[in-house]
Each structure stands twice: as structure tokens, then as C-alpha cells.
């Protein structure tokens, strides 16, 4: 007896490892009229705190998620409905709502959430989400890993087959970086696509991953259906060399935390867990050498060695450029390098990790761009 005019708002699942989240506070009151994209509430996970945006319209008829309380993923935390839906129907909906159980079990049966592929560059870890539709590849930036897409991957996977990989030297992929250049990383990405049987994909690259995606579009244009460049390297010479050196050099929580705060407009987003996870990565044998080789090759002396903007403008690959206005690592005005040939969106109130800080807006731009380019 589910009434289609009653729309549940549930605890979101951000990333592959999230099983529960804490409601930290509501940004809308019961009775408010909600539009798509409105910020409803804040949720804290062990990795990050972020805002849940409305995906549908309606009046916020019930708020069930208590601030300070932890709820499992998909638990009902609020109800949207038009004003004319009777209260009794809403109460019936709430009492009949059951958290869709067994999804985690189902995934476990279907296989692990992370996979590995043997490629010419070594073992590459990746995640694959969604079935059918266009094929999308997410390429993280310097020092990042596929979890940088924790707010992106499931949103895109609703209408696409999405791969996210750890580049060589990163995450849980091989720590050997045979060729620490954009070409070398691009070759590694193409080798990964070969090994998972993908001929052509829509490339979504963040920061250094954007430059790797551009390099691939120039060297192997047949394999890049479109480019989405998020706070991308390779569009100008400037970069915060202090950030790169600080990230490479930091060995303790005290050193690393202020460096990571550079990545966000809202410094409070840098959680203890985020710092700890990155320290665990940085301590692995081979990571320090890999990061030093990459930074020396790509970002020596606080400048970007490769600027690919004019080549991309000539190549006519359908391109989206997204930037956080408050990016303190790569300046947002680099977005204008492709202003004549690409769709450019600069998002206020977000920093370098704009795909995390303004996930709803970035996901909408990506979905739109990929749908049009496919």
C-alpha cells in the first residue's frame, strides 16, 4: 500500500565502506517546502561530514532522524509529501517502512566491493558500480584514491557503468610507478581499461587525474568519449607547491592535518579518520618514493610541468570543467583556459575537493554532461 506520493528520505550511502551515519542536524524544519537540491540535513560518517540534498520535491512532513543519533544506511529519516496527502497515510507509510535489508549481504555474495586487475603497470585496485548505459572512468588526483569519489560513484552508477581505480603509487594499487609522467600514468590507465575489457569511456578526472585524462584524450582519442575535468591539473602553470611538499613530507597527524585542510573550503570536513587513513597509506613501503617521483616530474618548484589546455581545445573532445571557487591548491581561474570550447562551472563555497564538498551539484553536472556526450 505504498503511496507513490510519499517520498522517503533515507540515510545515504556514501562510498563503499559506509554502513551507518549520524544525523548531526537538520537544515530544514518540518513543514518546509523542499525543492530538488535543497540542503536538508547534515550527516556525519567516520570519514566525513556532509550535507544531504533533496532529490525530490514536496513538503517536509515528518522528521524522524534525531540529531546525535546513528542510523544504518537506508534507514528512514524523513518523509516528503505534498500538503494534500493525509497524515494517516504518512503514519501508515512510516510504520510500514522497513530498511531494505540484505543489500550488504547481497553485495557480499555478488563479490567483493573492491576488485583488482593485473595490468602491464602492475596490480590495480578498482571499484565497479552500476550496469548498462555509458561507461565512466573516475581518475583521482595526486595522493588520492578511489574513495575520493565516495559521493560520486553511486550517483553516477544509477545510469552508467562506473569504474574508479587507484592509480599506480596510490591507494591499494601497486606502489611501483615505472614512468612518473602524465604519459606513464595515462598508459597505466589504458592498460587497466584493456584488462577490464573497456574500449572507450567517459573520463572524469580530479586534479592530477584530470591531467592524466587529458593526456589520454590527446594520445588515444578513440578511447575517451568525453572529458570531465574537476579542479584539474594541466590547465595552467600555477599550483600550491606548499601543498604538494607538505603532503609528501608529512609523517604525522599533526603535520598532515593542516595540509589536508588546504583541500577544502570548510576545513572542518577534515576528520580524524580521513587523516588516519591517509597516514596509513603514506606509511606503506614504496609510497614515499612514488609520491616524490610524481611530484618531481609533474609539480617541481611549485609549478605544473604540463599545460595541455590548447591541445584539448583543438581536439574537440566534449569537455566539462568544474571548479570550486575557493580552491587553494589549483586556482579556479584555470577553468577559463577552456572557456571557449568547454562547459565551465565554478561552484562557490567549495575548495579543491569540490566533488566531495558540493557533491550534489557536481554529480548533476557530470550526469548531464555524460548523457549529452554519449
Partner 1 sequence: MSRKISMKQAINEALDLEMRRDPTVIVMGEDIVGGTGAKGEDDAWGGVLGVTKGLYAKHGDRLMDTPLSESAYIGAAIGAAACGLRPVAELMFLDFMGVCFDQIFNQAAKFRYMFGGKAETPVVIRGMVGAGFRAAAQHSQMLTPLFTHIPGLKVVCPSNAYDAKGLLIQSIRDNDPVIFCEHKNLYGLECEVPAESYAIPFGEANVLRDGDDVTIVSYGLTVHRAMEAATALAKDGTEAEVIDLRTLSPIDWDTIVESVERTGRLVVVDEAHPRCNLATDIAAFVGQNAFGALKAGIQMVTAPHTPVPFAPSLEDLYVPSADSIASAVKRTLSPKGASPRIAA
Binding stretches for partner 1 (CB under 8 A):
116, 125, 172, 175, 251-254, 272, 280, 283-285
Question: Residue 175 Cβ, how far from partner 1 at the closest point, in Å?
Answer: 8
Question: Residue 269 Cβ, how far from partner 1 at the closest point, in Å?
Answer: 14
Which among 342, 346, 336 has a CA at the least distance from the CA of 373? 342
CB nearer partner 1, residue 21 or residue 324: 21
Task: State the Cα–Cα distance between residues 31 and 60, nearest whole angstrom.
Answer: 5
Which among 101, 42, 32, 38 has a CA at the least distance from the CA of 77? 42
Contact 232, 207 (CB under 8 A): yes
Which among 143, 309, 307 has a CA at the least distance from the CA of 239? 307
CB nearer partner 1, residue 250 or residue 358: 250
Cα angle 241-246-249, degrees, rounded to a multiple of 5: 125
CB nearer partner 1, residue 283 or residue 303: 283
Question: Residue 186 Cβ, how far from partner 1 at the closest point, in Å?
Answer: 25
C-alpha cell at 186: 595515462
Contact 208, 142 (CB under 8 A): yes
Backbone angles phi, psi at 298, to 5 degrees: -105, -30
CB nearer partner 1, residue 122 or residue 302: 122
Q: 343-347 and 319-324 as β-strands: parallel, antiparallel, unpaired?
A: parallel
CB nearer partner 1, residue 267 or residue 272: 272
Cell numbers 596510490: residue: 170
> CA dist 160 to 130, 201, 230, 366, Å?
6, 11, 19, 11
C-alpha cell at 262: 588546504
CB nearer partner 1, residue 86 or residue 286: 286
Question: Residue 219 Cβ, how far from partner 1 at the closest point, in Å?
Answer: 31
Question: Residue 129 Cβ, how far from partner 1 at the closest point, in Å?
Answer: 19
Measured in Å, how far apart are the chain's first and last C-alpha atoms?
Answer: 38
Question: Residue 13 Cβ, how far from partner 1 at the closest point, in Å?
Answer: 20
Question: Residue 20 Cβ, how far from partner 1 at the closest point, in Å?
Answer: 16
Cα angle 258-260-263, degrees, rounded to a multiple of 5: 120
Question: Residue 122 Cβ, how far from partner 1 at the closest point, in Å?
Answer: 13
CB nearer partner 1, residue 147 or residue 327: 147
CB nearer partner 1, residue 29 or residue 254: 254
Q: 122-129 and 58-63 as β-strands: parallel, antiparallel, unpaired?
A: unpaired
Amino acid at each position: 500500500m505504498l503511496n507513490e506520493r510519499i517520498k522517503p528520505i533515507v540515510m545515504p550511502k556514501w562510498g563503499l565502506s559506509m554502513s551507518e551515519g549520524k544525523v548531526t542536524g537538520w537544515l530544514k524544519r518540518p513543514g518546509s517546502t523542499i525543492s530538488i537540491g535543497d540542503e536538508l540535513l547534515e550527516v556525519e560518517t567516520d570519514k566525513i561530514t556532509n550535507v544531504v540534498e533533496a532529490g525530490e520535491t514536496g513538503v517536509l512532513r515528518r522528521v524522524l532522524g534525531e540529531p546525535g543519533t546513528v542510523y544504518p544506511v537506508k534507514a528512514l529519516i524523513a518523509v516528503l509529501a505534498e500538503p494534500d496527502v493525509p497524515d494517516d497515510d504518512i503514519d501508515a507509510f512510516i510504520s510500514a517502512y522497513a530498511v531494505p535489508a540484505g543489500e550488504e549481504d547481497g553485495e557480499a555474495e555478488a563479490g567483493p566491493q573492491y576488485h583488482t586487475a593485473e595490468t602491464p603497470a602492475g596490480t590495480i585496485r578498482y571499484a565497479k558500480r552500476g550496469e548498462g548505459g555509458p561507461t565512466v572512468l573516475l581518475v583521482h588526483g595526486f595522493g588520492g584514491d578511489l574513495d575520493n569519489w565516495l559521493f560520486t560513484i553511486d550517483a553516477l552508477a544509477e545510469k552508467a557503468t562506473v569504474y574508479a581505480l587507484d592509480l599506480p603509487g596510490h591507494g591499494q594499487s601497486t606502489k611501483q610507478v615505472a614512468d612518473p609522467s602524465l604519459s606513464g600514468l595515462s598508459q597505466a590507465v589504458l592498460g587497466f581499461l584493456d584488462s577490464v575489457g573497456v574500449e572507450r569511456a567517459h573520463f572524469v578526472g580530479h586534479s592530477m587525474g584530470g591531467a592524466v585524462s587529458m593526456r589520454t584524450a590527446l594520445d588515444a582519442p578513440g578511447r575517451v568519449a568525453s572529458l570531465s575535468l574537476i579542479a584539474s591539473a594541466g590547465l595552467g602553470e600555477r599550483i600550491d607547491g606548499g601543498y604538494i611538499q607538505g603532503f609528501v613530507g608529512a609523517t604525522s597527524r599533526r603535520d598532515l592535518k593542516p595540509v589536508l585542510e588546504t583541500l577544502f573550503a570548510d576545513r572542518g570536513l577534515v576528520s580524524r579518520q580521513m587523516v588516519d587513513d591517509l597516514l596509513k597509506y603514506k606509511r606503506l613501503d614504496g609510497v614515499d618514493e612514488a609520491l616524490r617521483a610524481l611530484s618531481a616530474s609533474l609539480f617541481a618548484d611549485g609549478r605544473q610541468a604540463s599545460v595541455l589546455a590548447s591541445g584539448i581545445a583543438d581536439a574537440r573532445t566534449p569537455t566539462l570543467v568544474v571548479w570550486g571557487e575557493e580552491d587553494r591548491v589549483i586556482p579556479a581561474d584555470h577553468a577559463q583556459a577552456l572557456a571557449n570550447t568547454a562547459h565551465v562551472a565554478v561552484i562557490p563555497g567549495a575548495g579543491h575537493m569540490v566533488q566531495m564538498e558540493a557533491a550534489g551539484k557536481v554529480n548533476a553536472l557530470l550526469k548531464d554532461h555524460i548523457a549529452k556526450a554519449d
